[in-house]
Each structure stands twice: as structure tokens, then as C-alpha cells.
Structure 1
Amino acid sequence: MGSKRKAPNREARKADAGRPLEIGGGMAKSPRAPIRVDSNVILLLSIFVVALALRLLPIAFCLSNEGIMFSEFDPYYHMRRIVYAVDHFPLLNSFDSYVNYPYGYGISWPPLFDLIAASLSLIVGLGSPGRGTIEAVSAAVPVLLGLLSIGLLYYIVKDAIGREAALVAAFFMAVLPASIFRTAFAYTDHHALEVCVSLAMYLCFMRAAASARKEKLSFKSLKKRPLVYAALAGIGMAGMVFSWDGAPIFIGVIVAYSFIQYAYDAFRGEDTEHLTVTGFIASLIAVTIVTPFIMACPAGRGFVVSALYLSWFHILYLAAIAMFFIAMWGLFRLCSNVKAPWFTAPLAALIGIAVLVASARFALPQMFNALEAGIQFLMGSGNVLVTIVEVEPLFSNNGQFSFDVPWAYFSTGGLLAILGFAAFLFTRNWKSLKESEVFLLVWTVMVLLLGLLQKRFVYVLAVNVALFAGFAMYEALKLAGFYEHLPESRGKKASRQRGASITPPMVAVAIVSAILLIPILMSAISIAGSMEPYARNWNEACRWVDENTPKTSYAYSADNGTHPEYGIMCWWDYGNYILYEAERPAVANNFQTGVEDAAHFFIAQDEASANAIMEKRNAKYVMVDYRMGSPWAGVSNGIFENMPYLAGEDSNSYHMSYLMPVPYGSERKLDGSAKYYGSMYSRLFNGDGLGGRDGLGYPTNGLEHYRLIYMTQGKDPVKVFEYVKGATINGKAAPGSKLELWLNVTAPDGDHAYYSTTTAGIDGAYSFTVPYPTSSTVGIVKTGDAYTIKSGSSSIQVQVSASAVDNGETVVAGGMQ
């Protein structure tokens, strides 16, 4: 009989459960365990899906048969540079003869954003992308950067607080309007890159600092992990320099944090060498990367020091940061060795920094001036800056205290962020803060100051608002017991026992959360799903100009010696539209070039003064729109008052108020003054240059050298005028008699009449200069068969040829009694 095999007990079976079965000399496959996906990964991916959907909303209105309509103004110049970069990769134009025409202008924007878009366009287009491919890829780049920024914020918060709080913060950044509007489809601007690169820089630096402390990094004991993160942080610093000319602000956050961390470590009596090594390595890597590129730039070769474009300022700035870390280490170690009070070192450092900055005014005046210019920029001072709406403080709207902007871009998220920041302060252990916690506090305070100074920085403040709004929501969920019901918190057994239990606090938090999130989502959809009201008309008008006016040469040349044939007079807000969509030189554009001449042109009270500016700027066309009008004349959000201000005149002289009788009293009315209606802008836009009567009812002559050739339809039409020599009509009439001239003009908005009047001289001679030929179609404007000239009961008909108008010829009219 064979022996019986004893059955294994339960413990043995459990021990053997994970072992492969041996059969003969081989091994049997055990059943494959099911793949489990971490719920946090699923949630994070879901957040990315929501973020993507919201950021793709502009597709609903920005796509057309002619191309993509980009958001706001600056994306149009980015597109101009991206197209150039695709054609000349990896070179970018540092000079543009189409800007500030006819003088040209050096381009100060750092290159990284445009090179990224150009590189991706070349990849997608397999080396030779068409304009449509370039536009589609460039429009998608901000979306990709926005999604990447959400992921980076997740890891920053995860390191500082935990992954549950990180998920909620990532969700808020995904839906916060202030984050969406700079990272939405077709917002092709470097602002999305600023946020992304800064977050990558902060994440790497904080991980470097934390691991450096843990591994006791020192100059004598260098460790791989903190050094790798420090090097990556240095690459991030260099990336910031190549992303935005305000990079010193973002890099300055690391310097400010480091100063506070040095002081905090001194307070706790801890060594700071690990932080010194981290900061020194990061800044050394950054200056090593940046220096050769800047040396290759015109400003670098000329040893120029300016914060407005890549120059020696950035080399000196990064080198100074490296020296800062060495000096701080030496100072704090010295104070520690002599057992000075902990505050001695930070106080001495502040005094030393103040002395160095004051000394720079004499030793390095260019460096000091660059720093001073940066401070003035942040404060929004300067003639042009004060006219820019986005440079106003956060709680200001057209000079009045207002919650409109913070509510539109943060909504209830701003209120949650305030609560979250307070909760963060309350729940920290102030005697043992982590590096990441100290950084979050310093970073947030600096960004808050930045956002309060200028509303343009709401997209920067959005990151910290999302962070602390997420923390507030996380704390509320934690108090309600939400996280205790997650499988990861309770284990499988507890999950089976208490699987779907819902408590009253959880219900309350869910209801409140929904109420708070609804306004945020509504605002996000509103901002992402609507375009600027003037965008469509300016795109349409510029494309018409591109197709129906003489082409200019060197459209994408970076050569300083190129000279296009003519330019277009415009207000600076719209110059980038003209540069990209019309591919014509612009007198003024969004770099605020040509502003003074443009301002003097549009407020000119006589045509001769305006003509002199047109000749000086070699401009052949003028483009205007409704928004350039005055709020006093009923133009909502009109910008006219900026023109006399920038021309050095009193803006108040261009508007007035008066009392109008009404039943049972009088009512105060606002309107433009005679100067406003007599300005070139008003005569062009309001009167189409045709003359007749102005907005106050006073008679006015038609312009002699400007003819309407195109206008868009809608509430804010864009009108295009051609500047011509004009034909001169000479004739004879009774001495001293009044003469009137008419020409029927038909435009898309109806029939009009060109009108002018003059008085015959003592010899009976009279003269009119007119901009329209007769029996012609000029652009989209049709003219009548002849000009009618009337004096008393007599009248004559005069025909004028196109060549007479274009060449400034004289047409002799018949005599009139």
C-alpha cells in the first residue's frame, strides 16, 4: 500500500498560494492577478479631461475657412514670429522692419515660446508645414502647457501637503477661469509658458532642497539626487529667462524663499550648507546655459544691460544669485560660530543687500536703471502703461474700486482660497515647517502682491488661488469624513462592511461644494466660450486689406536694411492684427511703438496736420473702429481719451456735459466736445470722411485726401481709408459766392453723399480737392456719375478720373454765374 499524503493545513495553503506549481522539470503559470489602477491616477486623468474640455471651448468660434481667430492682440505677433521661425529654424527675428514703420523695431520678446510652437509645427508638418498647420499647432500649444502646469501643481502640493489635497488643487486649477483664459485654445501667448516653466523650476528646486537636507548635502559631500534636482532647477531658471522678460520676478521667488529659509533655520539652530549648495548649483547651471545665448544676441555683443530684453542684465542677475547663496552661507555660519542671536544674520544680510543696491547706482548704473525700470513696470507707472487697462490694480476698473475682475476670474474660488490660506496657517506646526511649506507661504505672498499691483497677473495668481482653494475643500472633505470612506483608507475588509455609507456631514459638504463650484464653472465657460467683440471684424478687415491692396516687400525679413513700400496708420491696440493678418507694416502696434505720432494723427483738428504725419510715416492707409471712440460720446469702454493724454494734451477738452430740458426739470447729458467731433478719428469713423454735419450738428467738409474703401458690418465695424493725393477741381463763380459740392457715394450700409463747401475768391476763382473718382468702384464704395457743384441757383457737373485722384491732377470745371 502506498502511503497517504497528508492534506496541507489552511496556513500552508495560504503560504503556497503565491508560489508557482512545479510539474516535471518545468513551471506552471499561476493565474494572473488582475491589474489594479490607483484611484488617484483615475481622478487625475479625469481632471485632465475636464481641463482639456474647458480649454478647447474656443474652437466653437475661432475656426473659419480663412484660418484661426486668435484671442486678443499679442498672439498675432507671436504667430508672425512663429511663421518666421518655421521658415528660418532655429533662428528668430530680433528686428522687424514692419514694426514702428518706417523705422523698424528691435524685438524684445524672449524666444522659447515661439521656438516651441515652431518646432512642433515642423514635426506635425513633417518638415514643411502649411500656414493652417502652423496656426493649428500654435493654437494648441497653450492648452498643452496648461495641462502640464496642472500636473506640476499636483506634484508641488503632493510634496507639501499630500496627494488628496493635490488632487483637489489640480481640479481647481483645471476649472479656474483665471487659469483657463491664458491656456485656452488659440491664446497663443507666452503667459502659459511662464506658468509652466516657473512651476517646473519651483518643483525641482524644492525637491532639491528637501533631499539636500535629508541627505546632509555639503560642498564636501555631494549626493546625486539633490544635485540632479538642483541642476534641473537651474535649467528651469534658464528656461524662465528665455520665456519672459519678467523672468527675474519668478526667479526672485526662489531667492526670497531662500532668504526666509536661512532665517528660519537660524532660528531653529540648524545648518544651512545644504541650501547653499542647492542654490549655488542651480544658479551656476542657469548662468552657464544663458551666457552663450546672450553673448550671441545683439545686446550681448554690445554689452548692453537691460531688463527689457535678453542682455547682460540676466547674466549679472543670475551670477548675483549664485553669490547670494555663498554670501548667505558664510554670513550665517559666521554668526553661528560667534554665537550671535539668530536674527543677526538676516538683519545683516538685509543691510548688505541695501548697501549693494545703493552702490550699484554709481558702480553699475545700467544695472540699477534696469532694476528701477522693473519696479516702475510693476507699479504701472509711465505714460503708456497708465493707459493700459490690464496694468490697473486687481480691484480697480477704469480707475474705480471694483470687484468685477477678481470675481470674473476667480469667482467663489477666491473666497475659498482666503479660507484655505487661513486654514493652512492655522494647521501648520510653526516649529517644524518643511521646506515645501515655507516655500508655499513665501511664494503665495509674493504672487499675491504681484496680482494686487496689476490685474494682468491674474493668471499667475490663479495657481496659488487654486492651491489654497483646493486646500480649503480638502480640509472640508476631511472634516466631513470623506477620506475615511475611501477604500485606500480602510482596506478591503472595511470596504465591504461599510461600502456605501453616507453621513450627513458628507451630504452637507457635497451641497456646499456644488454651490461654490457652479459660479466658477459658469464663469470659466463664459470666458473660454466667448471672444473679444472686435476680433472677428479686425480679422475680416485685415484679410481684406491683404487681398485687395498692393503687396509690400520683405513681409518676413529680419534684415535691418529692408524697407517696405508703405505702412498703415492705426491705433497701437490693433497693430498686431495688421502685421499678421494683413501682412502690412504698422505705424503703431502692441509694443506701444509709434504711439505718439498715432495719437497726434487721430486727434488732429485739421487735415494738413494729419497729412504731415502720414507723410512722415509713409502711410498709405488708415484703419479705425468704434472702440476708438469716447465713452463721453456713448462708446462703451471707448479708449479715445488715451490719445490726447499720450499726445500731451488735456483729455477733458475733448468732452463736455450740459443740461437738457426734460419734463419737470432738466437732465445732465454727456457728449464729446467740438474738438472731439473735429478730430481726425471722429471725421473718419463717425463721418466716413464724407463731411456733412458732425455729432453736434455743425457743418463740416469732407476730407480731401482720405476715401473710404472698406468697412465691416456689425456693432463695432472696422473701416479702412486710403490716403490719396486727391484731384483738384478748379473753376470760376461769382466773386465771394458760396459753393457747395456733392457726390453720391454708396457703401454697404446705404447711400451717402460726399460734401464740401468753399467760397470763391475776389477774382471768382474757387478750388476743391476731392478723394473719389466718379463712376467708379473704390474698394466696396461706388460713386456717382459726377460731382455736383452748386452756387445759388446755378450748378454744374464735373467728372473726375481715377488717375486724376491718384496722381494729384487738376480738373477744370466750367464757369458758373
Structure 2
Amino acid sequence: MAHVDLGKYRPYIIIGFIVLFTLLAFWTRGIPSEGLVTADGVNLLENDAWYNLRQVEQTVANFPGYAWFDAMTLYPTGDVIYWGPLFIEILSTLCVLTGAATRPEIMVVASWVPPLMGAAMVPVTYLLGKKIADWKTGLIAAGLIAVISGNYAFRSLFGFVDHHIAETLFSTIFVLAYVTALLVTRDHPFSLKDRGTLTVESLKAPVLASTLAGVGYLLGYFNMPTMILFALIVTAFTLIQFLLDYFQDRSSDYLVLVNVVTFGVVIIGTVAFGFPHPGFDLSRYTVGHVIASAALIAGTLALYGLATYLRGRPKYYFPAALAGIAVVVVAALSIALPDVYNLLIASLFAFFGEQPVTTTVLEARAWSFDMAWAAFNWGLLLMAGGIAFLLWWSREKVNPAHVFILVWTLIILASTMAHVRYEYYLAVNVALLSAVFAGAVLNIGWKDVTRFAGTATSAAHASPAAAEKREEPPRKGKKGGKAPEARKPKASSKDQPDYLKAGAFIAVVVVTLLFAGCSLQANIALANNARYGGVDSQWMEALEWMGANTPNPGVDYTAILDQNTFTYPEDAYGVMSWWDYGHWITLIAKRIPNNNPFQHGVAGPNGSARYFVATDEETANKILDNIGTRYVVTDIQLDTGKFHAPATWADPDVGRSPFEPQFFVPTSTAATSYQAVPFYSQEYYLTMVSRLHNFDGSMADPTLQVIYAEYRDAGTANASLPVITRTEQMNATAAAAAVEAYNRNAPAGSHATLLNMYYQYRGDSILHPVERVPALQHYRLVHESPQNVYGTTGASGPDLKAVKIFEYVPGAHIKGNGIIEAPVVTNTGRAFTYRQESVNGTFIVPYATSGWSGEVKTTGPYRIVGTGQTFDVTEEDILQGRTIN
């Protein structure tokens, strides 16, 4: 049989596999298109995708103009755009080239870009794997990055129109270019002390490679200013590599050239790009990035000078001198240049820290082991093996490319552990280092596996007849001599497989395939589930209604505006909701939210957090007056599952505990064991979100029995939570009296209170306060979504809608005492009675009984209960704040 030289066809085989992996990556990421594409466009995934689409619409309308300021969010100031234009410009260019001009067309074109970038990661990762090891490692890395799951896969799906996958792609291109520059410079030795070696020929390739590394960095920088993280990686690598070179008596001239050229290009590109933002903040496009790059170059030169000066002295001089200089520099910066200190030092510690409010932002939370295993499963073990192999290869002669990969991995791993959002960066490290491990084991054990397979195959094919030697007559020797014995062939040790290496090879292949298979399965499941993602139908219905039925705020939706000269029209207004929904309000309703998913407008005295957990209407109203709000939108999630978020933002020290307190409750009458149980307190029912969403702004009385509870403080009970010692279900009035009586003479550290059982919205305890909840005087329901969150209809159970829109109005004044009420029917046909108790002899009512053309209407006049007095209130009375009688 003719021998086929596979080596001759290797380039074609490699290209074939890369194409196959690229198509696989693109196919899995395109799966959500089957469910997300509608007649109206694409139901985009996650919140930020909607804002990116808004930017694409704006850029297409003003192509290639890019807006650094947006008046259609964060009323009444507008918001500054702090990320770069590259991703948006790529999307907009494709829209222009394909002729996509309408929103549905723009949505479809933009939605395919993340899958394309995810597919582009395959050849980039192959090249990186090949650079640091060989073509086999590159192919394995390409295959793994094609199927790897977790945040990386999710953020490159069809419909996830956000710059995250672009961050990963461009940062990986930079790593590839920087590693290439290190290797090229290593292969073209020169000396900064010997001018004879500094020829055009010797420097051409290193300078060109370093220039491309600078361009690679700029691509990432033009996409997101968080590319500064990779300058930090280069800084850490440079310090470590200088130390290694010094201890092994090697020159670090190559590092000087690579860093000076790379970040010299970065400085030029950064200055040419400009500084849209003031100050020195590295999370925005400020002059701080030039300072950071210049500091990196200066630090490299300083390290080179110090290493040169100390060459030949005891080895410990260099690290000791570095430590001393670092202390002096940090101290000097903190005293003499505090702005630069905050820029370079303090922001570093802040980056890896975590504040209580970050727990309310999913992508800012710390990374847990469960999250890590769900994303990368067996790849975590393979990555550890890859790290071990890079360290092993460096035991005799350090390869700077390997050191850079290790530093890159460790810093990205630390970043991910601090903030889970960096998991989509870490995916590249996991795939690459898994491939390094698998490729190394493959190289070590391949011959032994083939020998083992060859031995097994020979044994399997050998027949008994062939195995049995035929007896041959002995040959005659010399006369009188002895016939020679038959020669027994000796087995060569080189032909025997090393079973340990073969076993290790098989084990690693199995684990690698297991990693790839589990990841691909998870990836496909993730993509299939994403088909049902996007904006909830109830929110879509509510915001489409808002866009069609509320006043236009008077701001040109697609115009690029100058922050320094823009002023809002007199009739402009804001929409208050939780920050999760801000971009939906901007794009779907074309109205201006008071806060947004950049977490702007959330904190502070006028933030949405303080508003939604305010228990006093006057305090809440002042917030809306200060920020020009006209409409408030609530939903069941903010009312229940997300309630912890505004509570935490409003007061990180106490969070939700005043509203949803937890107690240790005995699990049995013997009280030998306890479990932590959450409850609703009256404070929860008094919050603005509860009064609006649960009670439509109407007065609410306790209609069920409540829980009378006696408890001991955590400190008194020597526990982490208060401990309930007695509970009893009682009539609300009797329970309130019992609480008052107990607390008058309560033992030290003991108290009584009223509670209600804690349930998510599938339980209706959120509708039953433990004490009376006063009516809101300045809020009227104008629209609600059709879905009842309890799934019941008619009189068979409670009827609470998923999304509600309220208008904030001055309200009409009616003189009188007691309780006033008016029947109301909503746009969904739900009927309720608006009730309010007088305050100082006055009612302030928000609903008009005549002259109102909205969907939510009163079906009769206001009536003071028990008096027979009725009142007609016009829409003009409501808006002018008139007194009726």
C-alpha cells in the first residue's frame, strides 16, 4: 500500500479544521435567531444591547458621527458616553453597506455581528496557540474556543448587541501581537550598548512587530477604555521579566524596545483620538491614559537603567532596590501628585475591591466556584495543567512569551474573581492553557500510544498458526562440529510503549473531549434558551403604549447634541423606574429615563433607590420635583425579587433588613434547632414601590390576620439574627394592641412586632399590610399590562398586573374629613376603589371624574364615606391643583 505523506497536506488539513471550528462557533451563536427575530425586528438580549442599538440608529442617521453625549437618558442632565465608538462604528458601517435603514433591518444586521466576532476568535486563538507552542496546540485551542460556554458564549450570541465580545476579540489580538513582538525581538538580538547591532536590518522586524502590538492595543482602547487592564498586565509582566532576566544574567534590551515602541504608538494614537472626557479617570477617555502609557515606558526605562547599574553586584540588590524605590515613589505621588496617585495606585485597589451595591449588579459580583465550574467545568483542571507546563518549560530557560501568558492569565483570573463580568475575557485563557496542556501531553505520549496500539493490533491480527513456529531440520555444521542454535531475536526497549505516558495521554484526551463536549452541550442549551430572552412581553406592551400615549419630550431622538450648548425644552420630563429598565424606556418608548443601566441616577438623595424605598410621600415627591419626573413605572420584579437592589443602594449598611427582616425561628416546639426565615414588616408596605404597585396608590387596610411576634435581639440571644421566641396569628387590631402592651414592659433586649409571611409574588402576602397604609395623593394609574402575575382571572383570586405606569400630578384639593373614595376601572378592565383618608381636613385626589380621555377612568364621582357628599373633579382641576369646595 502506498505511503501517504500527511505532512505535505498539513496546511490544508489545518485550514480545514479552522474553517470547521469557525463555522461551528458561528452556528451555535446563531441559534437564538430562530426565536428572537420578529416582524418588528429582534427582541434583543439583555439591557445594554438596547442602548447599543439606539447608538447604531443615531450613528447611521449621522454616519459616521458618534455621540459622546445623550440627552435621551438620565433626565434632567443627560448622560456622557464613556465607552468607545469602534464597536458601534463597525455595526453602523455594516448597516450602511447592506442598506439597513429601518429599525427592524438595523436590528437584524447588528445582531449578527457578535456571532461573527465569536467566529473570528477561532483563527486568532489558533495563531496564539501556535505562537506559544505549536500547530497542534493552536488547533486544540481553536476547537475549544469555538465551543466554550459561560459568559463568553452568552455575550457573543445573536441578539447580544454589546461590545463585550469585541473586548475579548481585540484584547486577544493585542496579546497575539505583543507575544509575537516578544518572540520576533528575541529572534533578532541586538544591544542598546553596541551601536553596531542597531542596524535597520536588525531592528526592522522588532519595530514592525511592536508597532502592530501598539495598533492591537489601540483597537481594544477605541472599543473600551478598560483596555487599560492590559497595560497593567504588561506592567506586571515587565517587572517580573526584568527580575528573571537579571537573576539569569540575560539582557532585557528586547523589553525596552517592545514596550517603548508599543506604547509609544499607543500614546500617539490616544492623542490623535482625543480626550472626550475631562480629568484623569482611566475608566473614561481622558488624558490619564497618556499618563499611564508614559509611566509604563518610563518604568521600563528605569528598570533597564537600574538593572544595568546593578549588574555584577549581589543578586538581592535589584529586588531590594525596586522595593525601596516603589515605597518612595508611592509616598511621593500620594503627597505631591495626589491626582496621579489616584490614577495609578488607588484606582488599582478600587478595581479589585467590592462594595455592597455591586452585589445588586450581576456582572459586578464576585466569581464563585459554582459559577466557575458551570462556565468552564473540566477546563479549569486543564488550565491548571497548562500553567504547570508553562512553568515547567521555564525551569531552565525562560521564554518571555510564556511568562507573559502566565501573568495575563493570573491577572484576568484575579479580575474575574473580583467581578464576574471578566469571565468572558478568561474564556480565552482557559481554552489556550487547556490546549497547552493537552498539546504537551500529546507530544510526550504520542509515540507510546502508537506503539501500544501497534502492539495490540499485531497481537490481535496474529493467528495461532503464524504464532507457532514451524520446526525446521537443523542445518549441518562443519564436519564434526555442532549444529548452530537458532538465533532468538531480542526485543528492543525502544519498541516497548511507556504505559504511564500512554495512560496519561489517554486520560488527557478523555478529559479534553469531556471539556469540549460538556461545553458544546452547555453552549447549545444556552443558545436555545436565549431564543426566549429579550424584553418581557408585558414591558414591551407597556412601553409601546407609553411611546404612543404620553407627550413627546421634545428632544430629537437621532440628533448628535453638544453637551455644552444643549438645554432641554420647557415641556421635557423624566420617567422614573428602576435602572434595569432605563434603556428600554429610551429605545422602545423614546422617552427619557431618570436613571439607566450604567447605574447613573440610582444613588444619592435624588436617586431612584431613595425614591422607591421612601416611606413618606412628601420625601418621594421632592425627589421627583428635583429631577423633573412626570411618569413612574413599576413592575412586579422591583416589587419583590429585585426589591433588595434599591434597598441596598439607598442604604448599603442596612439594605433590605428594615423592610424584609430575617429572624431565627424554631423548627419545632422543642426549640432545639432554628432556621432563618424572612418576613415583611410594615416598613415594606409603606415604600413607594409597594404603595404604587400593590395598592395602586390607594389606602390599604390589613384584611387578613397578621403575625404577632416576640423576639430577642441578636446580641442578647448570642446569634447572628434576632431570635423569635413566640408567634401568634391574630386579628390586626388586637395584634397592634398586643405589640404596644408588650413593648411598654419588655425585658431588656426583647421586643414585639407585627409581621407578615415572606413570599415571592406567587404568594399574595405583598397585598396584605400588617397595618393601615395611607393613600398616595399625587399618583394616578394611567396604564397597566394585561398579565395577572397570579395567573388567576375574575373573582377567583387576586389580580395584580406585571407592569404599571403612573402619572405624577398636582392633584385637586377637597375640603372634608373622614375617608373619600372613587370607583376606578383600568385599561385591562380591572376595577378597584381609590380610597384616601383626610389629612388636616383636606383630601388631595389624583383622578379626574370628568374631562379625562385616558384609559384608566373613574366610573363615578368622589364620595366622602358616610356623609352622602359627592364631588366632580375635572382634569384641569387635577393638573392645576385647584381646590374644589
TM (normalized to structure 1)? Answer: 0.82
1:268 pairs with 2:248? yes
Given candidates 600, 624, 634, the residue that maps to 1:624 is 634
Q: Paired residue for 2:464? A: none
- Deviation by residue 1:89-122 (Cα, 9 ceiling, x = unmatched): 3332222233331122333223322222222322
In structure 1, distance between residues paired with 2:347 and 2:300: 23
Q: Paired residue for 1:706? A: 779
1:288 pairs with 2:268? yes
Q: Paired residue for 2:435? A: 470
Q: Paired residue for 1:330? A: 305
- Deviation by residue 1:495-530 (Cα, 9 ceiling, x = unmatched): xx9xxxxx9998876665554444323332343333
1:801 pairs with 2:804? no
CA drift of 1:249 comes to 1.2
Higher mean C-alpha displacement, 321-330 vs 454-463? 321-330
Q: Paired residue for 1:355? A: 328
- Deviation by residue 1:519-561 (Cα, 9 ceiling, x = unmatched): 3233323433334586554444333322221112223442332
Report the CA distance shift for 1:611/1:504 in structure 2 as closer, same or farther (over 3 A): closer
Report the CA distance shift for 1:278/1:640 in structure 2 as closer, same or farther (over 3 A): closer
In structure 2, distance between residues paired with 1:233 and 1:328: 21
In structure 1, distance between residues paired with 2:378 and 2:10: 36
1:511-526 to 2 correspondence within 5 Å? 513-526=512-525
1:691 pairs with 2:663? no
Q: Paired residue for 2:548? A: 547
Given candidates 285, 296, 315, the residue that maps to 1:310 is 285
CA drift of 1:682 comes to 0.6
1:637-716 to 2 correspondence within 5 Å? 638-645=644-651, 651-657=656-662, 669-693=677-701, 694-712=767-785, 713=787, 715=789
CA drift of 1:658 comes to 6.5
For the residue of structure 1 that corresponds to 2:398, the secondary structure is: coil
For the residue of structure 2 that corresponds to 1:270, the secondary structure is: coil
In structure 2, distance between residues paired with 1:609 and 1:478: 70
Q: Paired residue for 2:584? A: 577
1:242-641 to 2 correspondence within 5 Å? 242-294=222-274, 297=276, 299=278, 304-336=279-311, 339-382=312-355, 384-385=357-358, 387-395=360-368, 403-426=369-392, 428-475=393-440, 477=442, 481=446, 513-531=512-530, 535-554=536-555, 555-556=557-558, 557-560=560-563, 561-564=566-569, 565-595=572-602, 596=604, 597=606, 598-630=608-640, 635=641, 638-641=644-647
Q: Paired residue for 2:45? A: 71
1:789 pairs with 2:799? no
Report the CA distance shift for 1:123/1:405 in structure 2 as closer, same or farther (over 3 A): same
1:751 pairs with 2:751? no
- Deviation by residue 1:377-420 (Cα, 9 ceiling, x = unmatched): 4233456445434323212xxxxxxx332123223322332344
Report the CA distance shift for 1:659/1:113 in structure 2 as closer, same or farther (over 3 A): closer
1:770 pairs with 2:832? no
In structure 2, distance between residues paired with 1:134 and 1:203: 32
Report the CA distance shift for 1:772/1:450 in structure 2 as closer, same or farther (over 3 A): same
In structure 1, distance between residues paired with 2:105 and 2:286: 33
For the residue of structure 2 that corresponds to 1:103, the secondary structure is: coil
For the residue of structure 1 that corresponds to 2:661, the secondary structure is: strand
Paired AA for residue 783 in structure 2: Y
For the residue of structure 2 that corresponds to 1:620, the secondary structure is: strand
CA drift of 1:230 comes to 0.7
Q: Paired residue for 2:157? A: 184
TM (normalized to structure 2)? Answer: 0.76
Q: Paired residue for 2:796? A: none
1:221 pairs with 2:199? yes
Higher mean C-alpha displacement, 103-112 vs 766-775? 766-775
Report the CA distance shift for 1:90/1:515 in structure 2 as closer, same or farther (over 3 A): closer
1:200 pairs with 2:173? yes
Q: Paired residue for 1:21? A: none
Given candidates 208, 211, 216, the residue that maps to 2:184 is 211
Contact kept in structure 1, 2:553 and 2:591, CA below 8 Å: yes
CA drift of 1:155 comes to 0.9
In structure 2, distance between residues paired with 1:364 and 1:294: 23
CA drift of 1:602 comes to 1.0
Report the CA distance shift for 1:60/1:347 in structure 2 as closer, same or farther (over 3 A): farther
In structure 2, distance between residues paired with 1:509 and 1:324: 42
Contact kept in structure 1, 2:610 and 2:646, CA below 8 Å: no
In structure 2, distance between residues paired with 1:47 and 1:438: 28
CA drift of 1:702 comes to 3.6
In structure 1, distance between residues paired with 2:526 and 2:683: 37
CA drift of 1:772 comes to 4.6
Report the CA distance shift for 1:52/1:741 in structure 2 as closer, same or farther (over 3 A): same
For the residue of structure 2 that corresponds to 1:708, the secondary structure is: strand
In structure 1, distance between residues paired with 2:873 and 2:356: 46
Given candidates 214, 218, 226, the residue that maps to 1:234 is 214
1:146 pairs with 2:147? no
Contact kept in structure 2, 1:376 and 1:382, CA below 8 Å: no
RMSD over aligned CA atoms reads 3.4
Q: Paired residue for 1:161? A: 133
In structure 1, distance between residues paired with 2:160 and 2:676: 42
1:720-759 to 2 correspondence within 5 Å? 720-730=805-815, 738-748=818-828, 750-758=830-838
Report the CA distance shift for 1:98/1:452 in structure 2 as closer, same or farther (over 3 A): same
Paired AA for residue 778 in structure 1: G
Contact kept in structure 1, 2:547 and 2:588, CA below 8 Å: yes
- Deviation by residue 1:725-753 (Cα, 9 ceiling, x = unmatched): 2233446xxxx6x3341313235373333
Unaligned runs of 5+ in 1: 1-33, 396-402, 498-502, 813-817
In structure 2, distance between residues paired with 1:194 and 1:102: 31
Contact kept in structure 1, 2:74 and 2:593, CA below 8 Å: yes
Unaligned runs of 5+ in 2: 1-7, 193-197, 462-501, 702-766, 790-800
In structure 1, distance between residues paired with 2:64 and 2:136: 42
Paired AA for residue 660 in structure 2: H
For the residue of structure 1 that corresponds to 2:238, the secondary structure is: helix
Contact kept in structure 2, 1:480 and 1:509, CA below 8 Å: no
- Deviation by residue 1:611-655 (Cα, 9 ceiling, x = unmatched): 22111111111112222235xxxx378534324326x76642222
Report the CA distance shift for 1:353/1:110 in structure 2 as closer, same or farther (over 3 A): farther
CA drift of 1:796 comes to 5.2
Q: Paired residue for 2:27? A: 53
Paired AA for residue 242 in structure 1: F
- Deviation by residue 1:681-730 (Cα, 9 ceiling, x = unmatched): 11112223233345324333442222222333375923221112223344
Paired AA for residue 550 in structure 1: P
Higher mean C-alpha displacement, 711-720 vs 582-591? 711-720
Report the CA distance shift for 1:438/1:759 in structure 2 as closer, same or farther (over 3 A): closer
Q: Paired residue for 2:143? A: 171
Contact kept in structure 1, 2:821 and 2:865, CA below 8 Å: no
Identity over aligned residues, as a percent? 27
CA drift of 1:279 comes to 1.6
